Amino acid sequence: MNEFDFIEKIRARVRAKHDSASALITRHSSLIQGIGDDAAVIRSQAGKDLVVTTDLLIEDIDFKRDTTSPELIGHKALAVSLSDVAAMGAGARWGFVSIGLPPDVWESGFAERLYDGYFSLAEQYGVELAGGDVSRTTEKIVIDSMLIGECDSGRAVLRRGAAAGDQIFVTGFLGDAAAGLRLLERGARVHTASGPKPLEEVSVNRLLLRQLCPDPRVGWGILLGEQQLASAMIDISDGLSSDLNHLCEESGVGAMIDASRIPIDKLVTEICGRRALDPLMLALHGGEDFELLFTVKPENVARLPRKVDGVSICQIGEVTSEPGKISVSEKDRVWDLKAEGFDHFKREG
Amino acid sequence: MNEFDFIEKIRARVRAKHDSASALITRHSSLIQGIGDDAAVIRSQAGKDLVVTTDLLIEDIDFKRDTTSPELIGHKALAVSLSDVAAMGAGARWGFVSIGLPPDVWESGFAERLYDGYFSLAEQYGVELAGGDVSRTTEKIVIDSMLIGECDSGRAVLRRGAAAGDQIFVTGFLGDAAAGLRLLERGARVHTASGPKPLEEVSVNRLLLRQLCPDPRVGWGILLGEQQLASAMIDISDGLSSDLNHLCEESGVGAMIDASRIPIDKLVTEICGRRALDPLMLALHGGEDFELLFTVKPENVARLPRKVDGVSICQIGEVTSEPGKISVSEKDRVWDLKAEGFDHFKREG
């Protein structure tokens, strides 16, 4: 299949899912022109803000072909962008995907399967694929996911709104994805076949999927934005230590974290125990959990729901006034937390 | 320099250029939050449409490190997107750049020089860098450029508006970039040093720059959109034969092209003569000229200016009613034009 036939096929899939006529009568901004022109056209709506994020995934850096599947890569490409839009307190609307594939991968039907994974998640959250680009590479797979979301004007939750005294929360559990990555590196592989399995295998599979098939906190993001509950928010993609540092830097504040309150799945604790890994270090510095980290003014804490979409939250600490100083209290000692999450160009040692 | 320091440096450069306070009082949509959060935030304005395009550039497919420079790559990454926005009849507003670099290239200061080239062109057309992503690759350089433009609601010029009887125009000259590519492949290199040069060398340099440093037709695009002069438009990125085919397919029309009216620079004719190349074939099928191809209703032809920004236009043919049939009249014969422009996954032979 050539490039243009492929684009037409993707376009037909999008058309089958969305009736563009119905989009024109919504109260939201709407897509006037999707795939099939030099650019997509979005009709703006007064009283709305658009949020725009872009995430680059590179083979052998962000994923390995032999530890995942095209469908999981397509899922993850959208999931990481959905997580960014959620972290702005916005709802996702239009996606753009640029893919670069080596010729043999193109011939193998990889792209169709990647879009299967993308579309499956897009459908779940009402995202319409509005454009993108297709290119050839010499060897490695490259995917750039761009996502546009929308919220009411002025309701986007930035990193810079935290103030001393605000309470710090995270959704879900931390360190799962990092534990999953360690398991992948030690040779574990995802099982997709159904049927009964030993408990250990089921547990391992769950952690592998937290790494390979992240579940962005879309419901929490929209709720925290729409109800103006979060004073600042970021998604945990690089790791709690790095992302909390970003939030504090932008807000000009510090933070005190209570180590005992960091939500660590007991499965992670168990698996770490058997493999000589420290679960707290995974939770603090491990990346790609795609949980939300947010701050809430004390008077708003009582308005927080306990769960959204079955996902609970934990209060892990408090915002302090000393800019950039992030401390962790662990039993009877208090230590400074350095940003040691993921950095593409960090020197080792 | 690590990834986050680099992003801060880029952010400081953007801040130095743009005063975001002034953006808030414009009649246009405005950027509320640029680089430095999970996503950029754009405040929508009633009566406006946004156009969104994305272009992926891959090393050794779209450019070679030894025939260009980081600055030229940065220029080209934005130029190809500016060309897409121009082809929608819109003005460019906000750019997003995702780059993936191997560690040695990162260490060499390549990224800073790439952004020099990007910013230089961005400044010329009032584009503000609003976000992006930075990643590592194992070997090759990858750049994804995303650009958001804006026009009055309903004024975007799509590919699908052409009707039988409309006249077909192109800006500038065709085949220059393809000639430049052939010269690069035969070992010619761009000279950047000033001083007198032999005429042949100056001429070759001009064609090389048409390939490596394209000049998007921003002024023409905005004029044709704002004054509602074009019924359909596309930029010539894959080649006239392919892009005219795209426009005709979307509009459900055909076209008759007069070969003698296709604007070919006499430099291309000269250089082709000396190198056994057919200038007409370069003009019909060569890609990356980034000229605009547009159709105009007969009653609007007299309203077209002769030149915009020093660039003239040529009427090369007429839209016909038979869907998909594109013919070329050349002296006393008429032949069918097949789409033979660039396709990333075209099989040879």
d(CA A82, CA A213): 13
pLDDT at B191 over 90: no
In a domain, A341, yes or no: no
Q: Provide the pLDDT for residue B27.
A: 66
Could you tell me if B205 and B170 lie in one domain?
Answer: yes
Q: Which amino acid is at B38?
A: D
Q: For testing the chain B interface, which of A3, A31, A52, A160 should be mutated: the one with the most B CBs within 10 Å? A: A52
Q: Provide the pLDDT for residue A192.
A: 72
Number of A/B CB contacts below 8 angstroms equals 249
Name the residue among B127, B32, B31 with its Cα closest to residue B77.
Answer: B127
Interface of A with B in 207-266 (CB under 8 A): 233-235, 242, 246, 250
Share of chain A above pLDDT 70, in %: 96
Query: Would an 8 Å CB–CB cutoff place B84 in contact with chain A?
Result: yes
Please, which residues bridge with residue A236 across strands? A291
Tokens 């049939």 identify what position?
Answer: B325
Name the residue among A163, A168, A162 with its Cα closest to residue A261.
Answer: A168
Share of chain B above pLDDT 70, in %: 96
Q: Provide the pLDDT for residue A22.
A: 47
Q: Are A232 and A307 in contact (CB under 8 A)?
A: no
φ/ψ (deg, to 5) at A93? -125, -60
Alpha-carbon gap: B46 to the closest alpha carbon of chain A (Å):
5
Q: How many structural domains are present in chain A?
A: 2
pLDDT at A20 over 60: no
Q: Which two tokens stand for residue B12?
A: 């400081």
In a domain, B345, yes or no: no
pLDDT at A309 over 90: yes
In a domain, A297, yes or no: yes
A252-266, B118-132, B184-198, B291-305, range with the lowest pLDDT: B184-198
pLDDT at A279 over 90: yes
pLDDT at A13 over 70: yes
pLDDT at B300 over 90: yes
Residue B151 to residues A151, A331, B49, B145, B165, Cα–Cα distance (Å):
21, 59, 5, 20, 27
Beta-carbon separation of A344 and B54 below 8 A? no
For A120, residues 6+ apart whose C-beta sits below 8 A from its C-beta are A71, A74, A75
Could you tell me if A17 and A73 lie in one domain?
Answer: yes
Residue B68 DSSP class: S
Interface of A with B in 17-76 (CB under 8 A): 29, 32-33, 36-62
pLDDT at A202 over 90: no
Q: Are B256 and B327 in contact (CB under 8 A)?
A: yes
Please, which residues bridge with residue A48 across strands? A152
Residue A131 to residues A118, A134, B93, B300, B309, Cα–Cα distance (Å):
13, 10, 18, 31, 30
pLDDT at A27 over 80: no
Residue B55 to residues A100, B82, B171, B295, Cα–Cα distance (Å):
11, 10, 22, 24
Q: Are A139 and A129 in contact (CB under 8 A)?
A: no
Q: Which two tokens stand for residue B165?
A: 């009887």
The mean pLDDT value of chain A amounts to 93
φ/ψ (deg, to 5) at B214? -65, 150
Query: Which of A185-199, A283-297, B18-32 has the highest average model confidence (pLDDT)?
Result: A283-297
Query: Would an 8 Å CB–CB cutoff place B158 in contact with chain A?
Result: yes
Average confidence (pLDDT) over B105-112: 94
Closest partner CB to B3 (pick from A52, A87, A344):
A344
Alpha-carbon gap: A148 to the closest alpha carbon of chain B (Å):
9
Among candidate residues A108, A134, A152, the one where a domain is terminated: A152
Alpha-carbon gap: A213 to the closest alpha carbon of chain B (Å):
20
In a domain, B80, yes or no: yes
d(CA B56, CA A142): 10
Residue B24 — pLDDT band, cuts 50, 70, 90?
A: very low
Q: Which amino acid is at A105?
A: V
Q: Nearest residue of B to residue A42 by CA position?
A: B50
Alpha helices in chain A (DSSP H): 3-17, 20-23, 70-87, 103-107, 110-124, 176-185, 199-212, 218-226, 240-251, 266-274, 279-285
Among candidate residues A152, A180, A205, the one where a domain is terminated: A152
Helix and strand totals (H; E) in chain A = 11, 14
Could you tell me if B148 and B167 lie in one domain?
Answer: no
Q: Are B193 and B49 in contact (CB under 8 A)?
A: no
Share of chain B above pLDDT 90, in %: 81
Among candidate residues B91, B120, B152, the one where a domain is terminated: B152
Could you tell me if B171 and B266 lie in one domain?
Answer: yes
Could you tell me if A187 and A312 lie in one domain?
Answer: yes
Residue B243 to residues A58, B209, B323, Cα–Cα distance (Å):
30, 22, 15
**For B180-208, b where at least 16 C-beta lie within 10 A, e where not — what string?**
bbbbbeeebebeeeeeeeeeeeebbbebb
pTM of the shown model = 0.94
Could you tell me if A129 and A101 lie in one domain?
Answer: yes
Average confidence (pLDDT) over B153-174: 97
Give the domain extent around B42. Answer: 3-152
Could you tell me if B179 and B327 lie in one domain?
Answer: yes
Could you tell me if B141 and B200 lie in one domain?
Answer: no
A137-141, A221-225, A340-344, B269-273, range with the lowest pLDDT: A340-344
pLDDT at B21 over 50: no
In a domain, B278, yes or no: yes
Pick left, alpha or beta for residue B87 (phi over 0 → left; psi -120 to 50 → alpha; otherwise beta). alpha
Q: Provide the pLDDT for residue B271.
A: 87
Residue A345 to residues A44, A342, B91, Cα–Cα distance (Å):
38, 9, 35
Could you tell me if B83 and B166 lie in one domain?
Answer: no
d(CA B173, CA A231): 55
In a domain, B346, yes or no: no
Q: Are A253 and A246 in contact (CB under 8 A)?
A: no
Could you tell me if B136 and B196 lie in one domain?
Answer: no
pLDDT at B328 over 80: yes
Could you tell me if B80 and B11 lie in one domain?
Answer: yes
Pairing of strands A40-43, B48-58: antiparallel
**CATH (domain of B291):** 3.90.650.10
Residue B294 — pLDDT band, cuts 50, 70, 90?
A: very high
In a domain, A249, yes or no: yes
Residue B323 DSSP class: T
Name chain B contacts of A59, Cβ cutoff 8 Å: 138
Could you tell me if A132 and A177 lie in one domain?
Answer: no
**CATH (domain of A29):** 3.30.1330.10
Q: Provide the pLDDT for residue A253.
A: 98
H or E, element range at B246: helix B240-251
Q: Provide the pLDDT for residue B19.
A: 55
Name chain B contacts of A89, Cβ cutoff 8 Å: none
In a domain, A344, yes or no: no
